[in-house]
Amino acid sequence: MAAARVRNGGRPTLEEVAARAGVGRGTASRVINGSPRVSEATREAVQAAVAELGYVPNRAARALAGNRTDAIALVVPEPETRFFAEPYFSAIVRGVGAALADTEMQLLLTLAGNDRERRRLAQYLTAHRVDGVLLVAVHADDPLPELLEQLGMPCVISGARHANEPLASVDSDNFDGARAAVEHLITRGRRSVATITGRLEVYGAQRRLDGYRAALAAAGLPPDERLIAPADFTEEGGARAMRELLARRPHLDAVFAASDVMAAGARQVLREADRRIPDDVALIGFDDSVVARHMHPALTSVRQPIEEMGRRMAQLLLEEIAGRTGERPTVVLPTELVVRDSS
Amino acid sequence: MAAARVRNGGRPTLEEVAARAGVGRGTASRVINGSPRVSEATREAVQAAVAELGYVPNRAARALAGNRTDAIALVVPEPETRFFAEPYFSAIVRGVGAALADTEMQLLLTLAGNDRERRRLAQYLTAHRVDGVLLVAVHADDPLPELLEQLGMPCVISGARHANEPLASVDSDNFDGARAAVEHLITRGRRSVATITGRLEVYGAQRRLDGYRAALAAAGLPPDERLIAPADFTEEGGARAMRELLARRPHLDAVFAASDVMAAGARQVLREADRRIPDDVALIGFDDSVVARHMHPALTSVRQPIEEMGRRMAQLLLEEIAGRTGERPTVVLPTELVVRDSS
DNA sequence: CCCCGGCTTGGGAGCGCTCCCAATACACTG
DNA sequence: CAGTGTATTGGGAGCGCTCCCAAGCCGGGG
């Protein structure tokens, strides 16, 4: 007797479990999938057999027969280093992982870099390789969300792309975070509050700017466009914007930067210009990253609940997969102002 | 005619591709899997059909029939926040992703947190859900590597657990990184060089300490155990160790900390003790993290090629999956000393 | 002209599971 | 006591693919 090629890693199959429990394959399947239409005695017999044999369902067979995969993909646009930068990525992953921990769902990580990979990606998702997709850091002009929409693939994105986001999305309250930061500056007596914005095509950056304006308006301070300098979320961009601001409004006494990294660039310029922080100029960032804590002086910053965002994204996706309800909620999570030495 | 339930998301199957190309299913399969035993004409016909139909193989069916999954798992011990801290996690993921980009391999992310999840994990891997496993930040007493070994599951770990690591592993040169850092301090005239170590059960931390000792010995400086303070890779631990060192050897003129985070803790204590950096005490960290760049003064640090480590890990794993050669290489990648203001 | 071997090819068998229909068993109802 | 309904069960029919055996084809040698 030649040893048969061992398939499935020598693992027991459902058939064997059924045989051991003295029931049919269908019944064993019902027990394992928690169907209520099984008698108590039968259920126990099958569960005993499962335990004795150490049975674990074969995922591939399940996927093939059941036309689902029990897996979701987290799609990360790789060149987007901003996203990969701490702490966003790991925090999101953690949150997603936490939400999935009690599930059979697996998490597939997909780095969609260049166009070629992006095409492959579309194919993957198209080929029903996953039950749903989490998209993070999508650009407004990314065709992927629409593609997924057409294919009826459940999908949740982080950060609405514009005011009427058709997809389910989870976002932090960019508007209120910025508003609170600027309000804090005004409360502390600052009167000439500038802002360094992110790329305004990014809806979140726009919202932060809106929040800045709202805070000024609420305090009765006149709007001054020359106190607004656009940048691009980079340290260099932040430095450049700060130089512009100093040139245009030498007597500004506070700066709200739409990211910690841009605040770091601004701080560098302020130091070179011999402006003391916070004595001469107060500085606030956004993200509450490691950079903020270790900056000198420590940077006041708006904290986003990133891990919680990941968790909510996963939850929304699971619901959409389960129910396919028509509704696509937009969840907005509150931010928190972490006051440190720079303001 | 009732519309049949659409399976497989309405995607074309291999059978349809074969029909369209006017060949048999087997032949179509051969073309798609790159078998050489197909005539040129046939190959082209099948490829044309694939293109026209937009055929993408069904992964589940493949896995079921072929007894493989085309997926590997990256197992992350979740409570290990040190690993999750920037920049390790995202850099590893990036490297792994890069290595997998040209492959059909999928990356499964598995956060193994508490014991319950760890059991589930063992089951997963046991049930042949993946073709191989990447283990990062494994503790010396983690049973998982041995378990995988027994099951014949290809596996690569980051960071050898001890000198004779039986598994394939990828590591940075902890010894030489530390040696170079301390050598640098000595070259700059420091004579009383202390070190703050990581948890010495961690092999890498031990190697850094070995490197420190080797550099002192090479320079002919006498070993002084009271210049060595153990810590645990945390900021608080670093601070505590620094206090001890200052108490024991008030006149030390340099500190090599086995991580940037511990260096940050040490800096805090040095500042409180009115020691100027680098004038009174030079400080060097390890990891070259964001913290290092934004510390004040900017921290000299040993950079590990983390992304490259991820890439090599994935490569090793792919080789092991493909070949199952008996050899289990230990790859050690060079580090680089990044000199900044603190030394 | 037949046979043999190499190159291609078609398609059966089967991977382990879910879905679903039909069968069985039993409890009531009228 | 037949008739009807309900709870439970078994197992056939696939899911889409890979593996592999056998068949078809061709050219060259005997």
Q: What is the CA radius of gyration of chain A?
A: 26
Q: Concatenated DSSP letters for A54-73? A: T----HHHHHHHHT--SEEE
CA contacts within 13 A on the Cβ side of B252: 28
How far is C-alpha B165 from the chain's CA centre? 16
Which is it for the CA torsion A38, A40, A44, A45, positive or negative? Answer: negative
Taking only the tens place, the pLDDT of each residue in B85-113 is 657 888 899 999 999 988 889 999 988 87
Q: Which CATH superfamily is domain A71-171+307-332 in?
A: Response regulator (3.40.50.2300)
CB within 8 Å of A136: residues ≥ 6 apart? A74, A75, A76, A77, A83, A88, A92, A157, A158, A159
Distance CA A104, CA A56 (A): 12
pLDDT at B289: 87
- The 3-state secondary structure of B145-213, one letter per residue: HHHHHHHCCCEEEECCCCCCCCCEEEEECHHHHHHHHHHHHHHCCCCCEEEEECCCCCHHHHHHHHHHH
A224 vs A245, A252, B182, CA distance in Å? Answer: 12, 11, 53
Pairing of the two strands B300-303 and B155-158:
unpaired
Give the separation between CA B200 and CA B187, rounded to whole angstroms.
27
pLDDT of residue A113: 72
Q: Find out whether A298 and B291 touch, Cβ atoms under 8 Å.
A: no
Q: What is the percent of chain B with per-residue pLDDT over 90, rounded to a whole number?
A: 72
So where are chain B's domains?
A: 8-57, 71-171+307-333, 174-303
Is residue B151 scored above 90 in pLDDT? no
Least confident residue range of B56-65, B142-151, B153-162? B142-151
Please name the member of A11, A108, A291 whose beta carbon is closest to the beta carbon of B107: A108
Q: Is 70 exceeded by the pLDDT of residue B1?
A: no
Residue matched to tokens 């996690």: B89
Nearest CA in chain A to B235: A294
Chain B closest CA to A10's CA: distance in Å?
9
Backbone angles phi, psi at B228, to 5 degrees: -110, 120
**Residues of chain A under the 50 pLDDT cut:** 1-5
The residue whose two tokens read 């040139």 is: A247
Q: What three-state secondary structure class fits B247? A: helix
pLDDT of residue B84: 60
Q: What is the pLDDT of residue B81?
A: 61
Q: Taking all residues of chain B, what is their mean pLDDT, rounded to a whole number?
A: 90
- Dig out the tokens for A16 from the structure: 């064997």
Report pLDDT digits (tens) over A215-273. 999 999 999 999 999 999 989 999 999 999 999 999 999 999 999 999 999 999 999 99
Min Cα distance A294 → chain B (Å) is 6
The answer to whether the CB atoms of B109 and A74 lie below 8 A apart is: yes
Distance CA A11, CA B27 (A): 31
> What distance in Å separates the CA atoms of residue A245 and residue A266, rounded to the nearest whole number?
10
Rounded Cα distance, B266 and B256, in Å: 10
B197 — pLDDT class (breaks 50, 70, 90): very high
For residue A2, the model assigns a pLDDT of: 34
Return the structure tokens found at B37.
């035993």
pLDDT at B202 over 60: yes
Residue A129 near chain B (CB below 8 Å): yes
Distance between CA atoms of A326 and A169, rounded to whole angstroms? 14
Closest residue in B to A84 (Cα–Cα): B90
Contact at 8 Å (CB) between A343 and A184?
Answer: yes
Query: Tokens at residue A156, please?
Result: 């949740």
Q: Comparing A8-57 with A71-171+307-332, is the CATH topology the same? A: no
Phi, psi of A223 (to 5 degrees): -65, 145
- What residues contact residue B202 under an 8 Å CB cut-off, 6+ apart? B140, B159
What residues does B254 pair with on adjacent strands?
A: B193, B282
| A299's tokens | 């940077």
Class of the CATH-defined domain B8-57: mainly alpha
pLDDT digits over B162-187, tens only? 998 999 999 999 999 999 999 999 99
A333 touches A309 (CB < 8 A): yes
Q: Answer yes or no: are the C-beta atoms of A282 and A310 closer than 8 Å.
A: no
- Nearest nt to the CA of A37 via C1' is D8
d(C-alpha A296, C-alpha A92), whole Å: 27
Over residues B2-60, the pLDDT tens digits come to: 334 456 667 899 999 999 999 999 999 999 999 998 999 999 999 999 999 999 999 99
What distance in Å separates the CA atoms of residue B86 and residue B259, rounded to the nearest whole number? 12
Chain B residues with beta carbon closer than 8 angstroms to that of A265: none
Amino acid (1-letter code) at residue B84? F
CB proximity list for A53: less than 8 A, separation 6 or greater? A12, A16, A17, A20
- Those nucleotides of strand C lying less than 7 Å from any protein Cβ are 7-21
- The CATH superfamily label for domain A174-303 reads Response regulator (3.40.50.2300)
Instruction: List, chain by chain, residues whose CB lies under 7 Å from nucleic acid strand D.
Output: A 5, 18, 22-27, 29-30, 36-39, 41-42, 61, 64-65; B 7-8, 11, 13-15, 25-26, 29-30, 32-33, 55, 57-58, 61-62, 64-66
Query: Under CATH, domain B71-171+307-333 is a member of which superfamily?
Result: Response regulator (3.40.50.2300)
- pLDDT tens by residue, B211-254: 999 999 999 999 999 999 999 999 999 999 999 999 999 999 99
Residue in B289, B97, B95 with CA at minimum distance from that of residue A87:
B289
Distance, first Cα to last Cα, chain B: 80
Whether B128 sits inside 8 A of A8 (CB atoms) is yes
Instruction: Please give the pLDDT value at position B4.
Output: 41
Residue B183, Ramachandran bin (φ over 0: left; ψ between -120 and 50: alpha; else beta): alpha
Q: What is the mean pLDDT of residues B256-274?
A: 96
Question: Reduced to 3 states, what is the DSSP secondary structure of residue A158?
Answer: strand
The C-alpha angle with vertex A95 and arms to A113 and B202, in degrees rounded to 5, equals 85
